Amino acid sequence: MRRFRAVVVTMMMLSSSLWCYEDSWVRSFARSLLRFLGFVSWGIAAVLAFGGVSVILMYKNYRYLFQDSFLSLPGWLAVAAALILLPTGVLAVSISAKGSRYQQGALMYLLLVLLCLQMSSAVLAEFYSIRMASELKSTVDYLVYRYNGTHSQDPGSRAVDTVQRKLQCCGIQNYTDWLNASATSWHLQAEKAHVPESCCKEKYSHCGGDLGHLEQLFQEGCLKKLQDQLHFVMFYVFLCCTVLSVLELLVGVTNGILMRHQPFHDLQILESSTFS
């Protein structure tokens, strides 16, 4: 009987030692992973901020082409998420060294805010990427056929010139779209048909839009370039938000492991003797 008890006690001690060793290994791994994810979050913050700023600048540069005034919203949400990622990374690194329950709770709260921001930004980016592709075509068609000349003060005409210079393009599908303009088009008053001066390449900035010298003109259309740029910046933001969601999941799980293996040192149990 004594031998049996000794065997049971020995097995319990071995089991306890093994559990303590496993618990220590898991805690050590979780701290290392959380520290690594904290540093990674700073890099993702810079990448996400770049995507957000790209969306904002695109809306600012081509505002007249986009009828929806909320197109820049995914960009602002991405920038806000990038800013919140900075203190989130600091907390993650701090907790990996020696964190309190207050810091771990604050980290979980920031992760929840980030989740709301990134999901909103991702959904809006995908929505506008699909919706604005069709709206761009009708808007560009309208502006090209209402064009009043390179030196016109009309906002639509100036928007067309801006797009053609920045994207180095000419017309909707290609430069021949200017030949198919309406009967009241600006170029029919000239002796020879030509395109706007904004279609001229930089080193031929004074070419006058003469179709007799095509080598001096941009020949690609603007619509595809606009759509490609819109798809790129929106997909970039969507991809960043997706990667960030995976990062948040890992940080949340790792922080949860540390909270599970860390006792409530900061809390005290109130006993009746405390109040006597």
Q: What per-residue confidence (pLDDT) applies to 235?
A: 92
The answer to whether 266 and 102 have CB atoms below 8 angstroms apart is yes
Q: What per-residue confidence (pLDDT) applies to 182?
A: 45
* Burial environment of residue 27 by CB neighbours within 10 A (0 to 12, 13 to 18, 19 or more): middle
Whole-angstrom distance, CA of residue 195 vs CA of residue 215: 13
Q: What per-residue confidence (pLDDT) applies to 8?
A: 42
Q: What per-residue confidence (pLDDT) applies to 135?
A: 80
Q: List, in sequence order, every residue forming a beta bridge with 174; answer none if it has no partner.
A: 220
Domain ranges of the chain: 32-58+70-260
Amino acid at 166: K
Whole-angstrom distance, CA of residue 235 vs CA of residue 251: 24
The answer to whether 184 and 146 have CB atoms below 8 angstroms apart is no
Q: What per-residue confidence (pLDDT) applies to 25?
A: 63
Question: Tens digit of pLDDT for each residue in 89-146?
Answer: 888 888 777 766 777 788 888 888 988 998 899 998 888 888 877 788 888 888 888 8
- List per-block mean pLDDT (blocks of 10 residues) for the chain, which spans 276 residues: 48 45 63 82 90 90 77 90 89 76 81 89 87 80 77 76 85 80 49 74 72 78 87 91 87 78 49 47
Q: Which residues contact 127 (CB under 8 A, 6 or more apart)?
A: none
Whole-angstrom distance, CA of residue 183 vs CA of residue 247: 58
The sign one gets for the Cα dihedral 232, 235, 126, 244 is negative
**Which tokens sit at 237?**
């933001």
Q: Which residues contact 186 (CB under 8 A, 6 or more apart)?
A: 147, 148, 149, 152
